[in-house]
Amino acid sequence: MGKPLNEFAGWLKFFQYLVILNLMMNAFSAVTLIEALIKDPDKILTIGATVQFGFVMYLLYQIVKNLPIPSPENPEKIKNNLFYMFVIAIVHMMFYTSVTMLIFHREWGPDHTMALFGTVNLMVWSAFWRTYFERSKRVKAYYHQDVDLKL
């Protein structure tokens, strides 16, 4: 038998684990980004990746911070953060493609394919979880319970 819907469990708890894992993996990739900032001759591309990285890390942190608090505003905050991640992925891909093809005059290559894969991955991930926060019975039950948050 599953837990009652008004508890922080199930897919909601799984989402929390995924966001924390995402934060940890991104923290490890920060080392690569810092190294690229130092060594990469195409600094504009690395700066663009760093800006995207910073925004995504901030949004993931905001999600983790708000996720366990059963406040009625939190699902909307989390959905907005997921939407911003979706938009950031698109903007970064447009920036990367524009700079490499229009400024550096490079042909489409494996780097572009990897950037596109990362963009699609982030877009699908954020769209999937945003839909979960819109339709989940557990989200509705957990975040709309009468809880006194003034302790």
Domains held by the chain: number: 1
In a domain, 41, yes or no: yes
In a domain, 150, yes or no: no
In a domain, 151, yes or no: no
Check if the beta carbon of residue 70 is closer than 8 Å to that of residue 143.
yes
Q: Where are the alpha helices (DSSP H) in the chain?
A: 10-39, 43-66, 74-98, 110-135, 137-143
pLDDT in tens, the chain (151 residues): 566 778 888 899 999 999 999 999 988 888 888 887 788 777 888 888 889 999 999 999 999 999 999 999 999 999 999 999 999 999 999 998 888 888 888 888 888 888 889 899 999 999 999 999 999 999 999 998 665 555 4
DSSP single-letter state for residue 7:
S
In a domain, 97, yes or no: yes
R_g of the chain computed on alpha carbons: 18
Q: What is the C-alpha separation between 85 and 137, in angstroms, rounded? A: 24
Q: What is the C-alpha separation between 101 and 96, in angstroms, rounded? A: 8
Per-residue pLDDT, 151 = 46
Per-residue pLDDT, 48 = 86
In a domain, 1, yes or no: no
In a domain, 119, yes or no: yes
Domain encompassing residue 114:
10-143
Per-residue pLDDT, 108 = 86
Q: What is the C-alpha separation between 20 and 7, in angstroms, rounded? A: 19
Per-residue pLDDT, 148 = 54
In a domain, 2, yes or no: no
In a domain, 4, yes or no: no
